[in-house]
Amino acid sequence: MNLDPTKMKDWEIAEAAEQHMKTVYQLGEELALEKEELLPYGHYVAKIDYAKALERLKDRPNGKYIDVTAITPTPLGEGKSTCAVGLMEGLGKRGKKVIGALRQPSGGPTFNIKGSAAGGGLAQVIPLSKFSLGLTGDINSIMNAHNLGMVALTARMQHESNYTDEQLAQRGLKRLNVHPKSVEFKWIIDFCAQALRNITIGLGGRMDGLTMQSGFNIAVSSEIMAILAIANDLKDLRERIGRIVVAYDRTGKPITTEDLEVAGAMTAWMVEAVNPNLMQTIEGQPCLIHAGPFANIAIGQSSVIADKIGLKLGDYLVTESGFGADIGFEKFWNLKCRFSGLKPNCAVVVATIRALKCHGGAPIPRPGRPMPEEYNSENVEWVEKGTVNLLHHIETVKKAGINPVVCINAFYTDTKNEIEAVRRLCEDAGARVAVSEHWLKGGDGALEFADAVVDACNEENNFKFLYDLDMPLRQRIELITKEVYGGDGVVYTPEAEKKAEAMEKDPELSKLGTCMVKTHLSLSDNPNLKGVPKGWKLHVRDILTYKGAGFVVPVAGAISLMPGTGSDPAYRRIDVDTATGKVKGLF
């Protein structure tokens, strides 16, 4: 294939590459999957029956486990998915049996500013349209399961307001006494819909539901998505869904989906979704797609199930954690690895000259606007100043007991002097550095990158968690703030302080993990503070309970669980060729 990313758009490259795709049957044969373990969804996408595959492969040793994370990104993203795919292609060129485990893109960014999460240039997952537009329906299943829980809750609140205890008993119901101002759950939708953040429901008559304040979050922030990411099997998923806290009664007692007798029906929506999806890179490496993005407002990891299958099927498994190492890698390190029992062999920190310039003093790029002209010319001083952010993330990875590999995701506008400055500073800090041109050259451009990762995987590491679950919640939050973010401490709103005190006294909640919600655009909770901010404190305004997933969620700064759609969204450029039915304009 003669594909030139400098002259073709990502969707045009994907469309051309799709003419030469392997079928899922070929992929299954290369992975040595049994016929009944492969569940085709057409010719080029399939699910894998995880239970059958893992049972058959349980005695096979695991391959090498590689996590891809990044520095603090610009609002445009720095190409973590592209680097993960490029690494797969580079390892493939080196003759390694490699498989990926990436996250399914959300419709929110796909139709908004950032676009899909398929990679870019010659480092993409295909077929692009299928990947970007719902895939096999996992996110739809999550939306239906989650919203069914909300339907059960609001219906129960209406009936309890309309019926006496005796009338409820005649219907086989016991009064739950839900406090309408203590409802934890909201509705979800897989778009960035700021108009739905705060709504009033139940307007009308007594048969139209109880009038109360409610709202929507984006689908991938749902606790059910988090459960899908960390569950070990369907049984585990069912038990966790039953522990989801949807509201509190008037005495402060939690009310779960099991109390609403809806947990089983919610799980019924997830029976197919629990199986990972099988796709491929442009160069034919197999890639498992499972669970969702947004590590700033969710756990943001590919699933434990996908990782466990991938480690049995390949000699190298490449997975990805959302956004920077302060967010995605910290959750991979202290949550996902704790739940899975898996230990990584290597962590990659992705950096771009563009982002380093941003941290070093260049104008901050704005989504939907042209890149500032300053980024088109050499400025080694900005790059060197901005490298402090990269060095901070290198130290974060080292605190997990891992020697990181820095991947400079090369743009054709980067200069030799800028790249060499980054290499020198990172090597002085004790990190391996590789320059990769996978976007431009595919696997051939990622050979240095692949070699560095193989070398790192052959080293012994001393992987360890940042905190023990016996550590009190507020002490944990302060430790993450100081050791990972570089802050001076934590400030709580009265509501968050009250919740933290109650959680620390609760024998169940006090042992849950900690899943931080914070802007991805800064190490701090202020997205405008670049580099490595000093002299600041983390402002925690709320703490949510995700008892089913197994963690509590401190919410810092002004971040929202429902992003907004910008003024120049991607959907303006997406259309369909009505003659062929092919989607064009995705990126």
Q: Which residues are catalytic?
A: 80, 82, 103, 114, 295, 323, 411, 439
C-alpha to C-alpha distance for 76 and 375, rounded to whole angstroms: 13
Amino acid at 318: V
Rounded-to-integer distance, Cα 198 and Cα 560, Å: 11
Identify how many contiguous H helices and E strands the chain contains and give both numbers: 21, 25
First and final C-alpha spacing in the chain: 20
Q: How far is CA 250 from the centre of its chain?
A: 35
Query: What residues does 199 pair with on adjacent strands?
Result: 214
Closest to 225 in 3D by CA, of 304, 322, 291: 291
Task: Name the residue among 277, 286, 281 with its Cα closest to residue 28.
Answer: 286
Between CA 148 and CA 267 the distance in angstroms is: 10
Residue 262 in contact with residue 251, Cβ under 8 Å?
Answer: no
Where b means 16+ CB within 10 Å and e means fewer, 429-453 reads bebbbbbbbbbbbbbebbbbbbbbb
Please classify residue 52 by burial: count the beta carbons closer than 10 Å to its beta carbon, then call 0-12 exposed, 13-18 middle and 19+ buried.
middle
Task: Check if the beta carbon of residue 100 is closer than 8 Å to that of residue 82.
Answer: no
Alpha-carbon distance of 27 to 43, in angstroms, equals 11
Retrieve residue 153's tokens.
């809750």
What are the residue ranges of helices labelled H in 269-352? Answer: 304-313, 330-331, 337-340
Cα–Cα distances (Å) from 40 to 20, 283, 420, in that order, read 18, 20, 47
* Token representation of residue 519: 């802007």
Token code pair at residue 61: 């040793």
CA distance 371 to 363: 9
Q: Amino acid identity, residue 459?
A: E
Cβ 288 vs Cβ 100: under 8 Å: yes
Closest CA to 438 of 33, 135, 79: 79
- Structure token digits, residue 488: 């001076």
Query: Tokens standing for 544?
Result: 């949510």
Facing residues of 505 across strands? none
Contact 537, 488 (CB under 8 A): yes
**Contacts by 374-380, CB closer than 8 A, 24 or more apart:** 375/413, 376/413, 378/415, 378/417, 378/418, 379/418, 380/417, 380/418, 380/421
